[in-house]
Amino acid sequence: MVNQVMPAAGHPYNKSTQFIGVLVMFTVLMAAFIAIRLYSRITINGFIRGHDYVLLFAALVAFGFGTMNAAMLNGPTHFQGNWDRSWLDYIHDQYSGKASEVLYPVGVFFIKTSLLLFYWGLTQWWPLRVAVGVTWVVSLGNSLAMIFTWVFRCSPVLSFDGMEYFTASCKTDMWLKSMDITGALNIVTDVVIWLIPLPLVWKITQGNRERLLASLTFGVGALACIACGFRFYSLHKILAPSLLPPDQSEWLIWGMAEMYIAIICSCVPAIRALIIKKAPSIIGATSDVYSTTADGKSDEKSADKEKGGPDVRVESSRGSSPV
């Protein structure tokens, strides 16, 4: 009786049709920024650094997350109500959901790892390296907790697989609490990662204008923090009690946007270094703390040499800009 009556009521509104447009836009932007970043590395450094390869892997994960969910959200399954679905539809939806629950924390972790490796290579200044190490450990633990509490919240894991839907045992309370904790830690580590380099930047950069520009270069990552907050909020919205099937598209859009924006923002320092080298007049710079001298060695114009402060030398023994 339900199968005959409920479809006549229509299906809930969702944002599935917007997903492909957002995916295409961010993919084009991400590809352009990564290409410029790699060109900057080759032009200034002469080689691509290890953390660049980590970011490339993260970009592939983000793209995989986006394309898989674009296919699912725009296929027939997502537009169906629970009363329309066959067991096969449930299985496909469950596989997609589990893949998203793994790809998202993996992608976010490798983006953060790339940035932290970049910061680690900037200097041997111990306060910064301690902050980098602690943040990496917290990010790793948070990502693992996110994966295990999401994927293994039900027993069996694929509880929609056949008649096990009726006999599955799910630790819902534990999952909801862990989702709040890991989501909050995800936002906190995002904020910390974008703040970590600022003390070093202000220490080695001379002039208020240069300090402001350098701070904005790293501070642009706040956009990714905002996207992470919206993902967290939209994920809570779909958990609200409702008679209608939850709309997964909104949190998936914000999850994808968070990863893409973080990757784009992480390319900005390398692009700034390229502008300073190729066309310094664009940002009104004639020199930079990361500029190189004619003999290929870094011109370390640290303010500590004048102020007698702690040693926070920028690492550039390879004769290249660290950014």
Residue 311 CB contacts under 8 Å (≥ 6 apart), including other chains: 125, 304
For the ranges 83-92, 256-265, 274-283, which has the lowest average pLDDT? 83-92
Structural domain contains residue 316: no
Tokens matching residue 191: 């904020």
For a pLDDT cut of 70, what percent of the chain falls above it? 72
Full domain range(s) for residue 101: 2-306
In a domain, 312, yes or no: no
Residue 315 is assigned to a structural domain of this protein? no
Total domain count, the chain? 1
> Is the Cβ–Cβ distance between 77 and 89 less than 8 Å?
yes
Q: Look at residue 227 and tell me if it is in a domain.
A: yes
Which whole number is the average pLDDT over 260-271? Answer: 91
Structure-block tokens of residue 177: 């609490």
Give the whole-angstrom CA distance, residue 162 versus residue 193.
44
For range 268-272, the mean pLDDT = 87
- Where b means 16+ CB within 10 Å and e means fewer, 16-53 reads beebbebbeebbeebeebbebbbebbeebbeeebebbe
Residue 311 inside a domain? The answer is no
**pLDDT tens per residue across span 102-156:** 999 999 999 999 999 999 988 888 899 999 999 999 999 999 999 998 888 887 7
What is the rounded distance in angstroms from the CA atom of residue 89 to the CA atom of residue 150? Answer: 21
**Residues 39-73: tens digit of each pLDDT:** 999 998 888 999 999 999 999 999 999 998 888 77
The band of 242, judged by pLDDT with boundaries at 50, 70 and 90, is: low
Inside any domain, residue 39: yes
Q: Is 47 within the bounds of a domain? A: yes
In whole angstroms, give the CA distance from residue 271 to residue 17: 33
- How many Cβ atoms sit within 10 Å of the Cβ of residue 1? 5
CATH of residue 208: 1.20.1070
User: How would you class 106 by CB atoms within 10 Å of its CB: exposed for 0-12, middle for 13-18, buried for 19 or more?
Assistant: buried
Share of the chain above pLDDT 90, in %: 31
pTM of the model: 0.80
Say if 323 falls within a structural domain: no
